[in-house]
Amino acid sequence: MKSTHYILSIIVLLFSGCNLITDYKLDTNPDYLKEVSLIQYLEEGKESTLTMYLEAIKYAGLEEQISTGNRTRIIPTNDAIKSVLSSAGVEQINQLSKGVIRNLFSYLTFDGTYRSIDMETDQSVKGISDSGEPIFLTRKEGASDKFLLYVNDSKEIDGQSIAVIRQDYLFKDGVAHVVGQLPLYIKKVKETDPIPDDVDHSQAPTYNLPVTEDANVYHGAANTNYNGSNRLNYLCNRASRYRYTFFKFALSEMDFIDNLFSAKLCFNVKRIVGSFIPSCAVYATSNEWTEKTLTYNNRPEFGLEVSIFDLSTAWNETDITQYIQNAYNNSETEVSFGLKVLNGEAISTSQVEIYPRETSSTNLNNSPNAAYIKLQGAIDSELQLDHNQQIKGSAGSIITLTKVHLQMSAGPNAQYTYNDNNIIFIIEHLPANGTLVRNGLPMTKSARFTQAELAAGIVKYIHNGQGTTDTFILKVQDYTGGVYTERIPMQITIQ
């Protein structure tokens, strides 16, 4: 009966297009993988898409931990790991501390051997991962596949339901499932409220950065430049008709940049063709392009994902504050963005038309419809500091930051209500001997978290094993656009 189950597992994998392991031994011995551990198999080098998982496990010293007993391992592909590294501003695993990698990858292993063929339809397994946080595995049925698996398809997790792309690989030390996105334990917390309508921003400094160059590129004519004077820019996600739009902006000197409240990318959509609501992604790109020479083939690669938002006709805006703050902090003089629509592929006419920079074919100055970045400085905040306590931990430890360490509240004469979700901390100086993480991911300079996330234990400090003291500095902002007058130093003592 056991052998029948293993044969069924292989049949399910083959017919669902899941070909993780292409080894002739599987054709003659369905129990072949039970003779080796997961790490032993990966070390054979037959699976080129999972090499970074093995690298991370070894770098973090997790080999024994993930191989002891019968365990379920969730394995992210190389592309999934690269995406996380990119979000942290690095390219290599060893550019992050061992503690950060250990924390991220410990979350992907839990006790028990859970395969789709052993689970009931709509059954969800809640495992406690090696990082101490819950991880979920759920089986569902599709029209053509009765054994669909999902990671973190749970109401306890915010915004994650990750499809397993290769599943049920049984080794001598447990089972393995492969995913195309790195699972994270993301607790649900209330989002920051919108700015109240009656907040007076009349005294807040503002400035608009005009677009200096814009162009769009077209997959169907990959070597053609489409920046004819006063020609529309386009976004399209249909097969063989992919179109992307690029904007470039010069960063003027700002005397209020240290107290920047918001930066928003603004552009005017002339028309949306097809019955759909376009989902638009904004990516950072290299600025090594010009509007008169840009083509699909020489376009810059999409880099860091800065924003995703839905488009409508007329003016659209999306928040890019953290990216712009970092650009100024790094003394950059120019920024460039690539825009890509993420949906509409099934609609034969889907397309987005964006007004160009130029006023007309004979007037190449910026028109009233040209894109721009809207900067707004801060007003005085009504917040007060309740307490700021020293953070204590042991060498190499992971310390969860809470409201015991830091708490702000409304001052005695506050006009507005400041719940935890409306109090925002911004990192101005990073710690030297450790890493601040949010939902397991490293935070960079200018990264933000709310007091609600502190209360939920989402923000952590991971010590790198060096030094006995550390410090990071926070700016405090509230949802009305106010900034607390003083910066707050957070002291860490390693015992």
Cα separation, 446 vs 323, whole angstroms: 8
d(CA 100, CA 104): 6
pLDDT of residue 231: 85
| Residues forming beta bridges with residue 164, ordered by sequence position | 179
Over 90: is that where the pLDDT of 27 sits? no
- What is the overall mean pLDDT for the chain? 91
Render pLDDT for 302-341 as a digit per residue (tens, 0 to 9).
Answer: 998 999 999 999 999 999 999 999 999 999 999 999 999 9
CB neighbours of 249 closer than 8 A, spacing ≥ 6? 209, 210, 211, 212, 334, 335, 336, 372, 373
Angle, CA of 231, 235 and 239, to the nearest 5°: 120
| pLDDT tens per residue across span 101-147 | 999 999 999 999 999 999 999 999 999 999 999 999 999 998 888 99
pLDDT tens, position by position, 443-464: 999 899 999 999 999 999 999 9
Assign 244 to helix, strand or coil. Answer: strand
Q: How far is the CA of 224 from the CAs of 216, 219, 246, in angstroms?
A: 10, 9, 15
Closest CA to 138 of 127, 169, 5, 186: 127
Decide if pLDDT at 34 tops 90.
no
Question: Residue 13, by phi and psi: left (phi above 0), alpha (psi -120 to 50) or beta?
Answer: alpha
Q: How far apart are CA 398 and CA 117, in angstroms?
A: 37
Q: What is the pTM of this model?
A: 0.81
Beta partners for residue 135, in sequence order: 127
Per residue in 399-446, pLDDT (tens digit) is 999 999 999 999 999 999 999 999 999 999 999 999 999 999 999 998
The DSSP code for 32 is G
Q: Is 31 a residue whose pLDDT tops 70?
A: no
